[in-house]
């Protein structure tokens, strides 16, 4: 594993407790019956989905890092892959959390469109990594 990949993995592992904190916070909202959280099904569902996406995408980011050094991508391509996955773990959940902050909102605000940005960034990273792995000439020890 290269130094850059190891640093990215370390950073992701340091960030991961924020997802744990988010889960504990959501549990507190459920148990504490925060006004508006359970009363607003759209907000409830988007916040739960945002939390799930954050965790899954951070783990996918760590998995992708295991493969990036196995490619024959140029340095810029490897850097792109190293950052696309974690950036999607920011944009997608942010869209879900920030688009319905108000307990009275019946529908998400325009910030929900950040999810499309996150999806595009994620797909870009997946395609570049996939092509890099398909085109890799040799197996690395």
Specify if 140 maps to a domain: no
* Residue 25 belongs to a domain: yes
Q: Please indicate, yes or no, if residue 141 is contained in any of the structural domains.
A: no
Residues 6+ apart with CB under 8 A from 60: 85, 89
What mean pLDDT value characterizes the chain? Answer: 88
Whether 111 is in a domain gets the answer yes
Residue 108: its pLDDT value, please?
A: 92
Structural domain that includes position 106: 3-135
CA 123 to mean position of chain CA atoms: 12
Summarize the confidence of residues 19-26 as an average pLDDT. Answer: 80
pTM of the model: 0.84
Q: Is the pLDDT of residue 62 over 80?
A: yes
Instruction: Domain count for the chain, please give it.
Output: 1
Task: Report the alpha-carbon distance of residue 84 to residue 132 in Å, rounded.
Answer: 14
- 56 vs 33: which has the higher pLDDT: 56
Alpha carbons within 13 A on the beta-carbon side of 23: 10
pLDDT the model gives residue 34: 62
76-100 pLDDT tens trace: 999 999 999 999 999 999 999 899 8
């Amino acid at each position: 594993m290269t130094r850059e990949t190891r640093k990215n993995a370390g950073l992701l592992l340091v960030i991961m407790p924020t997802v744990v904190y988010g889960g504990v916070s959501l549990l507190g909202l459920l148990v504490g019956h925060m006004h508006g959280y359970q009363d607003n099904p759209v907000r409830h569902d988007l916040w739960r989905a945002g939390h799930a996406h954050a965790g899954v995408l951070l783990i996918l980011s760590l998995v992708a890092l295991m493969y990036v050094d196995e490619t024959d991508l140029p340095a810029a391509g490897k850097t792109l892959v190293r950052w696309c996955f974690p950036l999607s773990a920011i944009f997608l959940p942010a869209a879900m959390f920030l688009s319905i902050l108000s307990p009275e909102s019946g529908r998400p605000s325009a910030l929900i469109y950040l999810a499309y940005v996150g999806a595009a960034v994620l797909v870009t990273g997946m395609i570049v990594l996939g092509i890099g792995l398909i085109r890799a000439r040799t197996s690395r020890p």
